[in-house]
Structure 1
């Protein structure tokens, strides 16, 4: 993920968090719908998940239980413990901050 994209995402999450905090006080609940297993590593000089370690769908063809996104090359294997724990900790981080 490019740093500029990540910066925009973090700003959006921060602003969204401020709005959500205000809405929570008013009794409004926000539901987020995310698809963490669809991403690309094409433009990232330091990818978070490397190819060849069963962290991507194409590394272990039958391991992805979900539908493929486009041709499936952008699908992470969320059954992989490292992938699962990475997303689990990031979702906890988003929830708590």
Structure 2
């Protein structure tokens, strides 16, 4: 599950196309730049977008396993924010309105 979480975080940072200047340890006090520095930008971005959230005490708990429910919640938040519109109302002048 940790590998999946990392993949999800990296995908989120790639979707943004930018890096953030806020460090994740300002959001999650239990992250250590020495041991979690490789994921700090991605975690900060995902936290700012509301995709990952800490526990009730505001901690990220980086060494804890991600449950299925937590993973599905993060995926739902990610695709809810970054999914393309599924329906586009187009007007084509050369096609009759009753055409199916």
Range of TM-score over shorter length: under 0.3
* Rg larger in structure: 2
Higher RCO (CA-CA < 8 Å; seq separation 6+): 2
TM-score after normalising by structure 2: 0.27
